[in-house]
Amino acid sequence: MVRDDVLRTLEQHRGQVVSGGMLSRELGVSRTAIWKAISTLREMQFPIESVSGEGYRLAETSDTLSEAGIVMELTTKTLARNLCVLSTVDSTNTYLKQRASDLPDGYAVIADCQTAGRGRLGRSFLSPSGSGIYISILLHPLLPITRINMITVAAAVALCEAIAETAGFTPDIKWVNDVLMQGKKLCGILTEASVEAETGQLSYVIVGAGINVRTPEDGLPDEIRGIAGCLEDFSSHTVRRNALAASFFNHMESCYQLILSGNTEALINRYRSFIHFLGQPITVIRDGEKTSATAVAIDPNGHLVIEQDGQHATILAGEISIRLPGQAQPSSCARISKENSQE
C-alpha cells in the first residue's frame, strides 16, 4: 500500500525533509498518489509537516503506532508478520480469542487504547490512549499443557530485553512475571489458553502484554500510583512505541523458539538474569494464609524455591510479596494460577 510505503520512508528519515519527487521515484508512483497518501496519514493523526518547496517531514516527536513503523524494525520470521494495529479495542486478548480458529501462529494485534483491558483474576487494566501499548500474540504451540508457564516466562524475559534495548535501563522480574523498576510495576502480562477436551492438547495460547510507556495526561489513578510506574520515569529519552513493540516481538520470538526446541535451560538462564530478590525475605500467600520465607532459587521449570523453617519447598502457584529496601509497604504481588492466567 502506498500509504504504508510513504510512512516507512518518512520513518526512516524521521525529522528530515523528504521531497515528493524522491518519494515518487523511490516508490514508483505518481506525485498525486504521494499527496493522497500524505493526506490519509494526516487524517490518521500522523504529524507530517509540509516544507514549502522542499517536501515532507515526519515530526521527530511523532509516536503514533503504525504497522509500517513496527514492521520496518522487525527481525522475526513468524511473530507479528501478520499484524493488526488498532486505535481502540475492548481487549487485545479478547480480540484474538474471538478469531483464534481463523488466524495463523504468530498473529499479533496491538492497540493504542483498550476500553476493557483485563489483568489476572478478572481485574481491570488501565489502558489509556497515547501512554502505553497493549499487545497480544496468538500461538499454536505443540506443547504439553504443563509447559505453558514457559510462555509466560518468555514474555517476561522479552519485555525486559525490549525495555533495556529501547528505554536504556534494565528492569527486574519478580516471580513470576512482574516487570519492575525500583519497585514500580511497568508491565502487565496475561496468558490465556484453550485446551481441546478430547485430547487434552493445547488448541491455542494467547499472551498479552500491557506496557506503561509514559504517564497519562490525567495522571495515574490514586489506587495504583504507589505501585505502578512508566518507562519514561526511568529513561533518559523519549521511548518510541513502534520501536518498543518491534523489539518485544523480536525478543519474544527468540524466547519462544527456545521453548519449541526444548532448550528451556537457556530461557531460564535469561529469566534468572533479571531476578534480583533471591536470598531476601518474602511473604508467601496461599489459600489466604500468609507465611514468611526466604527466596532461594528459580528451578529449571521456572518455579520458585523457598526456605521455611530450614526446609526447602517449590512454589508452583500462589502469591509472594517482597519488601524492598526503603519500602514502607510490600511490593505488588505476582501470581501464577492453575489456569495460567497472569497479569
**Confidence (pLDDT) at 301:** 94
**Topology (CATH level 3) of domain 67-272:** BirA Bifunctional Protein; domain 2 (3.30.930)
Q: How confident is the model at residue 12 (pLDDT cuts 50, 70, 90)?
A: confident
DSSP H stretches of helix in the chain: 2-12, 20-27, 31-43, 67-71, 92-97, 149-167, 222-225, 231-234, 241-261, 264-272
**Confidence (pLDDT) at 130:** 80
Average pLDDT for 91-119 = 89
Domain ranges within the chain, ordered by starting residue: 2-58, 67-272, 281-336
Give the whole-angstrom CA distance, residue 146 versus residue 283.
26
Give the whole-angstrom CA distance, residue 135 versus residue 301.
25
What's the mean pLDDT when you consider all of the chain? 87
Cell matching residue 94: 479478547
**Confidence (pLDDT) at 112:** 92
Is domain 2-58 in CATH 1.10.10.10, yes or no? yes
> What is the residue whose three cell numbers read 500467600?
285
DSSP state of 120: G
Give the whole-angstrom CA distance, residue 214 versus residue 62.
14
Q: What is the pLDDT of residues 44-76, one digit of tens each?
A: 878 999 998 899 999 888 898 988 889 989 999
What is the percent of the chain where pLDDT is above 70?
A: 90
**Confidence (pLDDT) at 329:** 40
pLDDT surpasses 70 at 176: yes
**Confidence (pLDDT) at 338:** 27
Cell matching residue 282: 518474602
Q: How confident is the model at residue 127 (pLDDT cuts 50, 70, 90)?
A: low
Give the whole-angstrom CA distance, residue 170 versus residue 196.
39
DSSP state of 197: T
The residues facing 173 across adjacent strands are 179
> What is the residue whose three cell numbers read 526456605?
307
Name residues whose C-beta falls within 8 Å of residue 320's C-beta, 6 or more positions apart in sequence: 174, 175, 282, 283, 284, 285, 295, 304, 333, 334
pLDDT surpasses 70 at 221: yes
Average pLDDT for 250-278 = 96
Cis before 176 (ω within 30): yes
Average pLDDT for 120-149 = 78
**Confidence (pLDDT) at 337:** 30
Cell matching residue 170: 534494565
Give the whole-angstrom CA distance, residue 101 versus residue 99.
6
Average pLDDT for 8-24 = 92
Q: How confident is the model at residue 341 (pLDDT cuts 50, 70, 90)?
A: very low
CATH number of the 281-336 domain: 2.30.30.100
